[in-house]
């Protein structure tokens, strides 16, 4: 393990060009997919959480099932769709970062929606009753609920971001781990592991964890700063 | 409140956009070194190995260079008019294949420059050649066109052993620099690599499994390039190596042939680690056991041998570690074994 | 205001079963009863946030309703008051009335239980409602705050001559605000009348038992 830490440090300080590109690709993919997933998943989660009518339980169960989607299955489906003989072949998305982002968004949207849904479900009834009693409109009530879920929004985003960083099943299938193009930290780790280069693989793992720490700390700081 | 959350989201999306811009910049200046996975790190990996010889791996090459262990590599161009079918078996006619790019890469790899470069790979790093030029390998003298916007990206599907050997990282930058192409390499087990091409996701193949290649050709998925006389362009080879504990309890070092060596391992029930993943290496290993054992790629065929035979279903590196730790014998491609050895007992 | 007979059932449990009632306009109606007697359910049905069994209760417009767990919104105390569109000056004045002016710019989430309850009442009383329904508005307040709240409520009622439905478990409060009193038990209306009638000269044995128990 010590060697891996030393090597991780050496890799970072050496300014290794290949590592740099892997890092940039990883960040680009994970930030894009988590952001898009937040923009899609958060409204879904808030709507689902604040909705109290018929069929809510069914929708929640469906979403929870989707939260458990195995990444490889999503990867496989995207692979088949984007493949040279697949129905979406003309988009030429296989082995591209865009394709990887799409696969990750499919994985992350239920996760973010579910995490918000469970929070909103607990606060929404009280907020709704209070706001209705004050004669506020449905639109205002929804805004109040979103306003009330700020902290949860940030933590749902971080949940998605963490998953996007750590996920390997979908991105390796859709991205193909092409060096200098779609190779990200996790696929590189897998690749080195298969080659028997365990120390290098572990060093990359340490770096991945460090980036995740920096990003999480950054978002948390920003959040606290904004909260005052 | 809402404004603050908007600021938060905005700054994050800006970061994402910024990184996208960065990546594109990188991509633009980066025609050069596509795919050199192990080129950089082998140099680094060697250092701890030489510093701590007492922690070196015990696993050594016990048997190699038997004719039965020859590993032939072929290039195959994917036929744009192949009978492609989708997942439901319906014919798909408009599959995009970069035929010109594939032809350019094949013509270059089979040119004198390409073949010489390929065969000299490995000596500088390992003191050994990893690939040899096949006798009667086709040689191309065809003119190689410069890349155009349309033919620029070439998709090469290959096996993990080729990718892990670092050969392509050594070879391709020369081609890319000279002619302006970008070669996107994807690697998987041989069966998978070929399936990938059948799905229209590769312009050419570099693989090492004769039977599967012939099946690919027979299916109409490959075609004869103008300057050659066959679909399968077998041009280089190397050897699989039989590795095991240096003490060599089964005495395979002195076996008359590799088949005898495998028979000795089975006879004495010495531990053996198999890839078990239907890769080219796995297929080769299956062919070396005494026939009466009835070992096939099917896991069920080794059910009676679980006391000594490990059907691992894992990559080469993982299997090598397993063999090292359990003092088992193992069949490996030479390049991966040498990388493993250079890495030298990595998990402290 | 005339009310039709109201029932509310959860599963097989009937939590409310009331006959047709008439609520006099411009009066304070106090609903008393033990926990689980159906007081809050009645308040929620009157407010229109809960549907009775027959689902056909048309509540009147511009009803003001303060639920038992009135929610302090995640914004400043002042903004909480301005949410229905009240101007800044009026909101500040209202905060002064409730003794919350010093907290105007603090987050409503940081208030104590009693302060939160005062904020909730201030928030609902900032607008004029022809019908006002308050579900235990002073449950979390200390004596001083409770007396202040009652005073403000009576002034509000006198000024707007609105109809008030006040749910409370405090008998002393029911006496102080006077008006009409309804005593509920297990979802049934046991007794109704003026505060003096019901609280001092109850006709029903159940009411007497309840009063005795609480008066000790």
C67/A126 touch (CB, cutoff 8 Å), yes or no: yes
C67/A133 touch (CB, cutoff 8 Å), yes or no: yes
> In chain A, what are the domains?
22-196 (1.10.3720.10)
Please list every residue in chain A whose beta carbon sits closer than 8 Å to the beta carbon of residue C69.
126, 129-130
Residue that has been written with the tokens 């478990």 in this structure:
C169
Contact (CB, 8 A) for B101 and B279 = no
Closest CA to A133 of C208, B309, C191, C121: C121
pLDDT at B272: 96
pLDDT band at B238 (very low <50, low <70, confident <90, very high): confident
Instruction: Return d(Cα B264, Cα B252) in angstroms, integer.
Output: 7
pLDDT band at B7 (very low <50, low <70, confident <90, very high): low
pLDDT band at B10 (very low <50, low <70, confident <90, very high): low
Give the residue-averaged pLDDT of B262-285: 90
Query: Strand, coil or helix: what is C137?
Result: coil
Residue that has been written with the tokens 């609920």 in this structure:
A145
pLDDT at B273: 95
Q: How does B204-213 read in b/e, with b if 16+ C-beta sit within 10 Å?
A: bbbbbbeebb
Please tell me if residue A9 touches chain B, with a CB cutoff of 8 Å.
no
Of residues B297 and B43, the one with the higher pLDDT is B297
Question: Which are the contacts of A36, defined by CB distance < 8 A and separation ≥ 6?
Answer: A101, A105
B301, pLDDT greater than 50? yes
Any idea which of A107-121, B41-55, C137-151 has the lowest mean pLDDT? B41-55
Give the HSE-up count for residue C209: Cα atoms under 13 Å, Cβ half-sphere.
7
Please list every residue in chain C whose beta carbon sits closer than 8 Å to the beta carbon of residue A138.
none
pLDDT at B28: 43
Max intra-chain CA distance, chain B: 80
C73/A147 touch (CB, cutoff 8 Å), yes or no: yes
Chain A neighbours among B 66-85 (CB < 8 Å)? 84-85
Question: Chains contacting B with at least 3 CB pairs below 8 Å?
Answer: A
Please tell me if residue A31 touches chain B, with a CB cutoff of 8 Å.
yes
Q: The whole model's pTM is what? A: 0.79
Average pLDDT over chain B reads 83
B348, pLDDT greater than 60? no
Angle at B66 between CA B61 and CA B70, to 5 degrees: 95
A126/C44 touch (CB, cutoff 8 Å), yes or no: no
Which CATH architecture does the domain made up of C2-70+129-215 adopt?
3-Layer(aba) Sandwich (3.40)
> Between chain A and chain B, how many beta carbons pairs sit less than 8 Å apart?
173
**Positions of chain A with pLDDT under 70:** 1, 196, 226-228
Which CATH architecture does the domain made up of B239-343 adopt?
3-Layer(aba) Sandwich (3.40)
Give the HSE-up count for residue C201: Cα atoms under 13 Å, Cβ half-sphere.
4
pLDDT band at B225 (very low <50, low <70, confident <90, very high): very high
Give the residue-averaged pLDDT of B335-347: 70
Interface test mutation site (partner A, options B17, B23, B332, max chain A beta carbons within 10 A): B23
B45, pLDDT greater than 90? no
Max intra-chain CA distance, chain A: 66
| Alpha-carbon distance A7 to nearest alpha carbon in chain B (angstroms) | 9
Percent with pLDDT over 90 in chain C: 70
Of residues B205 and B121, the one with the higher pLDDT is B205
Partner-chain residue, chosen from A133, A136, A147, that has the shortest CB–CB distance to C47: A133
Chain A neighbours among C 106-145 (CB < 8 Å)? 120, 123-124, 127, 133
Partner-chain residue, chosen from A130, A135, A140, that has the shortest CB–CB distance to C67: A130
Please list every residue in chain A whose beta carbon sits closer than 8 Å to the beta carbon of residue B23.
21, 24-25, 28, 97
Closest CA to B147 of B34, B241, B289: B34
pLDDT at B345: 47
Domain boundaries, chain B: 72-237, 239-343
ipTM of the shown complex: 0.90
Q: What is the pLDDT of residues C47-91, one digit of tens each?
A: 988 889 887 666 566 789 999 999 999 999 999 999 988 899 999
Please tell me if residue C90 touches chain A, with a CB cutoff of 8 Å.
no
Q: Answer yes or no: same fold for B72-237 and B239-343.
A: yes
B37, pLDDT greater than 50? no
CA of B149: how far to CAs of B144, B152, B181, in Å?
16, 5, 9
Q: What is the pLDDT of residues A134-179, one digit of tens each?
A: 999 989 999 999 998 888 898 899 999 999 999 999 999 999 999 8
Any idea which of B27-36, B104-113, C185-194 has the lowest mean pLDDT? B27-36
Interface test mutation site (partner B, options A179, A190, A203, A204, max chain B beta carbons within 10 A): A179
Chain B neighbours among A 62-91 (CB < 8 Å)? 80, 83-87, 89
Contact (CB, 8 A) for A187 and A177 = yes
| Alpha-carbon distance A14 to nearest alpha carbon in chain C (angstroms) | 48
Partner-chain residue, chosen from A28, A95, A196, that has the shortest CB–CB distance to B317: A196
Give the residue-averaged pLDDT of C156-182: 93
A86/B27 touch (CB, cutoff 8 Å), yes or no: no
**CATH of region B72-237:** 3.40.190
Please list every residue in chain A whose beta carbon sits closer than 8 Å to the beta carbon of residue C120.
130
Any idea which of A60-64, B164-168, B257-261, C81-85 has the lowest mean pLDDT? B164-168
| Alpha-carbon distance A16 to nearest alpha carbon in chain B (angstroms) | 8
Helix (H) or strand (E) holding A21: helix A17-50
pLDDT band at B344 (very low <50, low <70, confident <90, very high): low
Please tell me if residue C70 touches chain A, with a CB cutoff of 8 Å.
yes
Instruction: Return d(Cα B166, Cα B118) in angstroms, integer.
Output: 11
Partner-chain residue, chosen from C67, C74, C127, that has the shortest CB–CB distance to A129: C67
Helices B2-28 and A138-148: crossing angle in degrees, nearest 10, is 70
pLDDT band at B245 (very low <50, low <70, confident <90, very high): very high
pLDDT at B29: 41
Please tell me if residue B247 touches chain A, with a CB cutoff of 8 Å.
no
Domain boundaries, chain C: 2-70+129-215
pLDDT at B14: 66
Please tell me if residue C83 touches chain A, with a CB cutoff of 8 Å.
yes
């Amino acid at each position: 393990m010590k060697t891996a830490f030393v090597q991780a440090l050496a890799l970072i300080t050496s300014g290794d060009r290949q590592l740099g590109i892997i890092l940039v690709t990883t960040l680009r993919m994970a930030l894009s997919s988590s952001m898009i997933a937040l923009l899609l998943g958060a409204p879904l989660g808030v709507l689902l959480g604040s909705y109290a009518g018929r069929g809510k339980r069914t929708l929640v169960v469906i979403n929870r099932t989707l939260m458990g989607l195995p990444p490889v299955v999503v990867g496989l489906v995207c692979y088949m769709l984007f493949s040279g003989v697949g129905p979406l072949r003309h988009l030429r998305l296989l082995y591209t970062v865009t394709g990887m982002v799409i696969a990750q968004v499919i994985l992350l949207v239920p996760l973010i929606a579910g995490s918000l849904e469970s929070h909103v479900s607990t606060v929404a009834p009280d907020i709704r009753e209070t706001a209705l009693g004050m004669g506020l409109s449905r639109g205002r009530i929804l805004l109040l609920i979103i306003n009330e879920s700020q902290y949860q929004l940030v933590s749902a985003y971080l949940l998605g971001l963490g998953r996007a960083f750590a996920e390997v099943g979908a991105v390796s299938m859709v991205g193909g781990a092409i060096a200098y193009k779609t190779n990200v930290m996790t696929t590189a780790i897998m690749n080195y592991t298969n080659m028997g280069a365990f120390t290098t693989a572990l060093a990359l793992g340490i770096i991945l964890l460090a980036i995740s720490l920096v990003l999480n700390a950054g978002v948390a700081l920003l959040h606290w700063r904004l909260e005052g | 409140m809402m404004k603050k959350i908007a600021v938060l989201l905005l700054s994050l999306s800006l970061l994402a956009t910024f990184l996208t811009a960065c990546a594109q910049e990188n991509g633009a200046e980066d025609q050069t070194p596509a795919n050199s996975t192990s080129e950089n790190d082998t140099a680094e990996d060697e250092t701890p190995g030489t510093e701590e010889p007492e922690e070196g791996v015990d696993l050594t090459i016990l048997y190699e260079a038997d004719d039965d262990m020859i590993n032939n590599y072929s290039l195959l161009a994917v036929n744009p008019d192949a009978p492609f079918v989708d997942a439901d078996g319906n014919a798909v006619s408009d599959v995009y294949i970069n035929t010109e790019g594939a032809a350019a890469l094949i013509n270059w790899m089979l040119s004198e420059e390409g073949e010489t470069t390929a065969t000299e790979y490995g000596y500088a790093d390992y003191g050994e050649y990893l690939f040899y030029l096949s006798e009667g390998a086709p040689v191309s003298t065809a003119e190689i066109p410069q890349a155009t916007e349309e033919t620029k990206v070439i998709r090469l599907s290959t096996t993990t052993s080729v990718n892990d050997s670092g050969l392509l990282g050594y070879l391709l930058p020369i081609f890319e620099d000279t002619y302006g192409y970008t070669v996107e390499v994807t690697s998987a087990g041989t069966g998978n690599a070929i399936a990938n091409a059948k799905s229209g996701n590769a312009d050419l193949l570099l693989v090492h499994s004769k039977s599967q290649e012939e099946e690919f050709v027979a299916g109409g998925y490959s075609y004869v390039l103008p300057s050659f006389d066959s679909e399968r362009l077998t041009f280089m080879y190397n050897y699989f190596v039989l590795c095991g504990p240096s003490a060599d309890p089964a005495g395979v070092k002195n076996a008359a042939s590799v088949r005898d060596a495998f028979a000795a391992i089975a006879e004495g029930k010495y531990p053996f680690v198999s890839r078990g993943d239907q890769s080219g290496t796995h297929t080769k290993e299956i062919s070396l056991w005494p026939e009466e054992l009835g070992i096939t790629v099917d896991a069920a065929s080794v059910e009676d041998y679980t006391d000594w035979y490990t059907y691992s279903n894992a990559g080469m590196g993982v299997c090598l570690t397993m063999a090292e730790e359990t003092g088992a014998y193992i069949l490996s491609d030479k390049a991966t074994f040498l990388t493993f050895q250079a890495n030298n007992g990595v998990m402290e | 205001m005339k009310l039709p007979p109201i029932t509310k059932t959860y599963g097989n449990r009937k939590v409310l079963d009331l006959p047709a009632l008439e609520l006099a306009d411009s009066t304070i109606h106090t609903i008393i009863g033990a926990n689980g007697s159906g007081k809050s359910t009645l308040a929620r049905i009157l407010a229109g946030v809960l549907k009775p069994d027959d689902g056909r209760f048309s509540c009147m417009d511009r009803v003001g309703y303060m639920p038992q767990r009135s929610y302090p919104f995640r914004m400043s105390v002042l903004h909480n008051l301005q949410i229905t569109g009240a101007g800044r000056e009026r909101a500040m004045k209202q905060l002064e009335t409730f003794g919350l002016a010093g907290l105007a710019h603090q987050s409503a989430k940081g208030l104590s239980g009693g302060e939160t309850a005062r904020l909730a009442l201030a928030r609902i009383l900032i607008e004029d409602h022809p019908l006002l329904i308050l579900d235990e508005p002073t449950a979390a307040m200390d004596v001083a705050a409770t007396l202040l709240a009652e005073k403000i409520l009576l002034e509000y009622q006198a000024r707007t001559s609105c109809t008030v439905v006040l749910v409370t478990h405090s008998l002393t409060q029911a006496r102080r605000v006077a008006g009409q009193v309804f005593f509920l038990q297990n979802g049934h209306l046991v007794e109704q009348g003026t505060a003096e009638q019901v609280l001092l000269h109850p006709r029903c044995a159940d009411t007497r038992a309840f009063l005795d128990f609480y008066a000790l």
